[in-house]
Amino acid sequence: MARVTELPEAQPAQFLIVGSGIAGLYTALKLAELGQVVLLTKDRLEESNTSYAQGGIAAAIDPSDSPELHFEDTIKVGVGLCLPESVSILVHEGPSRVRELIQYGVPFDLIEGAPALTKEAAHSRRRILHADGDATGREISRSLVRHVVGHPNITIYEETMVISLLTHNARCYGVLALMPGGELATFASGAVILCTGGCGQVFSMTTNPSVATGDGIALAYRAGASVSNMEFIQFHPTALFHPPAPRFLISETVRGEGGILVNKYGEHFMPKYHELADLAPRDVVARSILKEMERTGSDRVYLDLSALTADQIRHRFPNIYDTCLHYGLDITAEPIPVSPAAHYMMGGILTDIWGRTSIPGLFACGETADTGVHGANRLASNSLLEGLVFGHRIYHYLQKNFPEIEEFQPDSPPELPQETSPETTCSDRRFIQELMSAQMGIVRNGPGLTAALETLQAKGQGPATPCLDPAYIELQNIRTVARLMIQSALLRTESRGSHYREDYSRTDPAWRKRIVITGKRITYLPITPENG
């Protein structure tokens, strides 16, 4: 890659946050209590995976529930790879964080003045809070954005894309960013917090918006930070399959409220695959749907809502109802055609319980981070909670270890992407997405993964002219994340949670460990009582 020879003068930021989903917005509000915060986001402030989250946020707030039960459900679904300490933090601190959201004005749905709770797959209790029926993420984002925009200690830069992390003596001191007008800007900070979300756009079929290109993972990895559990991408079992409509998420709460999965013959098939039937863990449901589609020679299955009345559907799932109706589907009268799609990254930038990465001065939070909470398979609706809980812990750590902004020169000039044409960028993005869906999807095997990795490496060559096109920068991030995912999937010679290899179809106790990649170095972190 080409390099920047001279950096623009750095703009100081006591705390620098990259990303504007729930993790970025909430962490910005908390850190603004301590000092000046700069928040950078590559699109509009409201555009993030959070805004598209439907089901809700899990927390043990009902008298019949407990953090211990929430802990047990999370650990069970994670298939031996959750870190018990991280999960304990999540479930015990989660209720307080949810109450903060209520204080911020998030309009959770109520029944007789108390939060209305629903149930999702693999939860033993009804503990999912939701807002506007099935638009929880949107309502959380709206409430937090309103507070962030009005806060005197928060400066917001929209349509600003971070190109590189700036380091000196193995410490992160800031970022190099591409501004809306095309000029470069440097931001220096005592603490850089990556809250850049997921990487669903690595795949051709995803519930994620176009901004979910794995930017934080790629930035951190290129700067020398460790990433872990990159083989574990969750495929949501039920995304709308109604071409040319987009792959719109059909929330798991639809099944939690009584919806069932049927094949093209109208047969309810999940009971033959798992004792929990339609509310089995997501990886089980996704693979079961795939098997049923193959068995019946179909490219979709159907979500039957006939157990609900038309009024119940319109009241409980107004967003899903309106979206399907827009594409000619009346879900009060006909089943919803669905199939699995890439949804959530369980791995990411390796952090400790305070959000610290392997690079001092660099923190990560939310979907871009691997805190050890999700293991091999995320429990539904734990994702929004994770962003809050570990955002608060970053705030708590920096409150006690207040960072100073220091003048510095980077260890080496930051790299810039190489030039290419817009047409090539678009076609290369589609090529990688199709390759990943074919070889790194719900079912994988060694030869396919090896061929995919070789193809990616061969296609990654290009000219050395600097390029400051955001689409091309995203392409390079997608390429980096895709390579890390395939590399990890090849190393894990077993099947566990969302990682299923047909050439190693059993779960191997010897693989109860995390795969950590730092540059070209591979290490393994066993899950033990000492680190759990």
Active site residues: 282
Q: What angle do CA 14, 16, 20 make, to 5 degrees?
A: 140
CA distance 382 to 432: 29
CB 49 within 8 A of CB 71: no
Strands 362-364 and 184-194, by their bridges, are: parallel
Residue 263, SS3?
Answer: coil
435 φ/ψ angles, rounded to the nearest 5 degrees: -60, -45
CA distance 89 to 390: 9
Q: Helix 422-439 and helix 446-459: axis angle, to 10°?
A: 170
Question: Which residues, other chains included, contact 399 with Cβ-Cβ below 8 Å and sequence gap of 6+?
Answer: 34
- Three-state DSSP string of 49-74: HHHHCCCCEECCCCCCCCHHHHHHHH
Q: What angle do CA 398, 401, 405 make, to 5 degrees?
A: 80
CB 508 within 8 A of CB 478: no
Taking residue 117's Cβ as centre, other Cβ atoms within 10 Å add up to: 22
- Three-state DSSP string of 154-194: EEEECCCEEEEEEEECCEEEEEEEECCCCCEEEEEEEEEEE
Please give the structure tokens belonging to residue 291.
């098997």
192 φ/ψ angles, rounded to the nearest 5 degrees: -105, 125
User: Virtual CA dihedral for 6, 12, 15, 16, nearest 10 degrees?
Assistant: -40
Q: Helix 84-103 and helix 383-400: axis angle, to 10°?
A: 90
CA distance 488 to 486: 5
522: which DSSP letter?
E
CB 439 within 8 A of CB 231: no
Helix (H) or strand (E) holding 389: helix 383-400
Please give the structure tokens belonging to residue 473.
């920068």
CA distance 192 to 351: 13
Which residue, among 140, 4, 2, has the nearest Cα to 59 in the 3D structure?
140
Helix (H) or strand (E) holding 479: helix 470-491
CB 120 within 8 A of CB 252: yes
What is the per-residue DSSP string for 11-38? EEEEEEEE--SHHHHHHHHHHTTTS-EE
